[in-house]
Structure 1
């Protein structure tokens, strides 16, 4: 499969470039539509996982620090202190539309308009599910975004797409998932190995589609609880992920092109400044995953080749500190006294990138049972299954003898059993842990649930009124490249600020 990724990208990279804005979106000088859809799907999946540029900025610099998985004293990591950097904040928006959207819209359009009826129906269903995955992350980060007219620059020459209300985007995304999953069967898709998520397994795509429906359905809980329950019930009835074999993840390679590599891993190869937040380290107390997630830097120059896995030595860095103020806390005289993401085990360029995991699904099912009793009526069973899956999921990294054992899982569940009195907080705190490095999702679920309970920092000059931001600000070029639609979005949603709440994030 990894060799196949390399071969596909060699075919496709010559027609893909990093455009600057909607004026350049979907220009087609090399007739990409002449390609069969398989290589395009491969490229779309890799683009959806993100390159170093957008993962560094949107996923890590902002989301991971705001959600207190990570922290940093340096000014580059603006999210740690709720400061505004236009390029960082707008990066996920920029790359979503310049790379991800235009490719997946091209695939969908090709399959919808196939004049020779040469492509099987399930290929369109798979592309529609991937399209929902791409759009739901950008709307969850920014709110109202281009959707119904997006990515169609060389299809219908619309270079200034309107921003759709997030309420309408969610309605359509859920309907898309309902239709696409219903059309899938159980056989191997015509995409075959070009599908680098599931190798064309329609059953796995179907379960992924319903699992996304579960995620999106729960997003509605604050704004429309009844619709939330109905969509969650549809997802459960349709059939969500059943085991770790159903995890949706990209199995990256170490080159030869940048997009083949894990975008997060590329960041950690280039940046030595970030540390794990003490909030995250404290949450992992007595958790066997701590030895996998965390490592103390070495004193030598090559900090990427080794590090202490002794959990008793791990120490998180509080958020909101500078190179000066860190001196005032114990161990602050040397930043290497604080744990970093484990470069030996989980931050390599050939490590997996998770779209959605079975453990996440089990924690959401636990929540569905807590709220409505519609997922079997036993939230403890789902909590236990989620913990087990989350710990076993670590084996997808190349961790050697660091695997979490069955005994360790049993001991953890004995020491930290499901607590019905605090069920929502417990399962969503575990959701926050298992989505580490998938911090756009961590950020969204925290805003939805309020868990885990986080203490914001109030750094001088922050632009969110001393509170954890509720969204990112749009790519600034939109103000001049798509001004009318940009302004209409602001008039409907509110000012383009960190503290403006998106549609589903009501107080």
Structure 2
């Protein structure tokens, strides 16, 4: 299941290096002795490669939604190289191998492999539409037989993805679902029911995604899932997510841990996000961030409590402050839990206090924490928040308040689980605190008007999505919630799509003649579901 730390180092060692899974592209090919593709080797390769290929877009979108800070991205600047590795890796590695699994699995009547591959394919293409808008789809699935695949509209592709998901769910019931060895499916260990829940939950997410432009289709689709009692992800153990390992050599740790738990660091923590948690008495602050110093008031942090980050769009050059700035914590990156006293905690706080805070800040190294974190793709908490949003905005079945409260509870429990199973020393958020915190937010929900209720749902989902900037970027463009501070010194407008791979634009004859025009339009052209 997803909470079991995967230690297949022969696969995960390739995860976060450049060209993460090139070794897998020809895993079954020997030019002197051709062989049939081996499904049990290709499938885990796609799951590793999918996670690795989403690294750069997850980093970029996490900066855009102010979960993290890097200079240019936080000022809304992007170019054709920023997400090139993600684009190229998804098309040339993951999706290519998934097509091989679908074709070979169909030939062998291995519908279990076919079903999983189709669901992975649907998930990846949905994310690519969400991020880039118009992309190659039908002709891209033909591999090297088409050198210049046609770009299709996001709306057209979404319609095809609904069909693809239904095909995958039907395939799952065609024959024995018997992935052997179970480790050939890194994510769900060959659990048929888990993949069915994932497929239905993906449909739910996509229906909700289109609610602004196709409200009736969205409402009908969601209610159909609910009235049919279609199994959804409804427990944290069913999350569609990827667990990282703890190995430094070969490297299979969470990418944020690898980037931060060293002398040089890739990010600042987002000061606005830190203050959102600090000012709202959110217990996740000690799990999300680790302070390297107890008190820092010079520069960018006004609180004097060691939470030294940067506000979005700050154009100031980076001084030699790697040993001072706050860094990622135990969730989701598998770093350290911050158990040091915090200055300036309001006396009225209930959930963030200094009771039992006996630790001390320290300058982190690669021996601190394990890196055995998580990339949450679609989770129980996300499903609850989606259902709450749909109930509020579409009138779908469900008690929005209870779903909102359940989403908060699910995520706090997930923080506990990831922290306790990552090999790090992190105390659990007490069950009584989880119950009280969720009830406190639910009381705010009850007191709010309809607009306030939606703001609360999207704000709590935004906080819970730390570690998945992609989905938070989707939500922010779709709802404008939560309200984020404007960049201090923006270089451009907020990007409504990510930039295309410069390689694709320069080599694909369908767009190469107008590459500059197409790329420029990405900044200001909404995806089809963004109204």
* 1:501 alignment partner in structure 2: 526
> Offset of 1:483 from its aligned partner?
2.7
Match of residue 359 from structure 1: 381
- Specify whether residues 259 and 266 from structure 1 end up closer, same or farther in structure 2 by C-alpha distance, changes over 3 A only: same
Change (3 A) 1:458 1:400: closer
Shift of 1:90: 3.0
Give 1:101's aligned residue: 95
Q: How far off is 1:79 after superposition?
A: 0.9
Match of 2:8 among 5, 10, 24: 5
- Paired with 1:212 and 1:176, the residues of 2 have a C-alpha distance of 11
Q: How far has the Cα of 1:88 moved from its partner?
A: 1.1
2:326 to 339, 347, 354: 339
Matched with 1:66 is: 64
How far does residue 227 in structure 1 lie from its aligned partner after superposition? 1.3
Equivalent residues, number: 463
Cα gap change, 1:370 to 1:487, in 2 (>3 Å): farther
Q: Aligned residue for 2:125?
A: 135
Q: How does 1:69-468 map to 2 (within 5 A)?
A: 69-72=67-70, 77-114=71-108, 117=109, 119=110, 121-154=111-144, 157-185=145-173, 189-191=178-180, 192-236=182-226, 237=228, 238-255=230-247, 260-269=252-261, 272-284=265-277, 285-298=280-293, 313-314=306-307, 316-323=309-316, 338-342=325-329, 343-345=335-337, 348-376=370-398, 378-394=399-415, 395-397=417-419, 398=422, 399-417=424-442, 418-419=445-446, 420-421=448-449, 422-457=452-487, 459=489, 462-464=491-493, 468=494
- SS of the residue corresponding to residue 77 of structure 2 reads coil
Inter-partner Cα distance in structure 1 for 2:462 and 2:162: 23
Measured against aligned partners, the alpha-carbon deviations of 1:424-465 in whole angstroms (never above 9, x if no partner) come to 1111111111111211111112111211111321625x132x
Cα deviation for residue 207 of structure 1 reads 0.7
Counterparts of 1:476 and 1:195 in 2: how far apart (Å)?
A: 33
TM-score (norm 1): 0.81
Q: Deviations over 1:364-421 (max 9, x none)?
A: 1111221234332x11111111111100101223253432111111221343222452
Given that 1:429 and 1:452 are in contact with CA atoms closer than 8 Å, whether structure 2 keeps it comes out as yes
Matching of residues 462-477 of structure 1 within 5 Å: 462-464=491-493, 468-477=494-503
Alpha carbons 1:252, 1:261 under 8 Å: kept? yes
Q: Which has the higher helix share?
A: 1
Residue 161 of structure 1, CA deviation: 1.4
Report SS of the residue matched to 1:425. helix
For residues 79 and 339 of structure 1, the distance between their equivalents in structure 2, rounded to whole angstroms, comes to 19
Q: What secondary structure does 1:88 align onto?
A: coil
Task: Tell me the TM-score normalised to structure 2 length.
Answer: 0.78
Q: Give secondary structure in 1 for the equivalent of 2:178.
A: coil
Instruction: Determine the C-alpha separation between the residues in 1 that align with 2:492 and 2:133.
Output: 18
Structure 2 CA distance for aligned equivalents of residues 2 and 335 of structure 1: 30
- Displacement of 1:264 in angstroms is 3.6
CA contact (8 A) 2:112 2:176 kept: no
RMSD of Structure 2 on Structure 1 (CA): 3.4
- Which of 476, 484, 504 pairs up with 2:510? 484
Unmatched segments (≥5 aa) in structure 1: 20-24, 300-309, 328-332
Instruction: Give SS of 1:234's match.
Output: helix
Separation in 2, partners of 1:107, 1:33: 14
Unaligned runs of 5+ in 2: 295-302, 330-334, 339-368
Say if 1:189 and 1:78 are closer, same or farther in 2 by CA, change over 3 A. Answer: farther
User: How far did 1:100 drift?
Assistant: 1.7
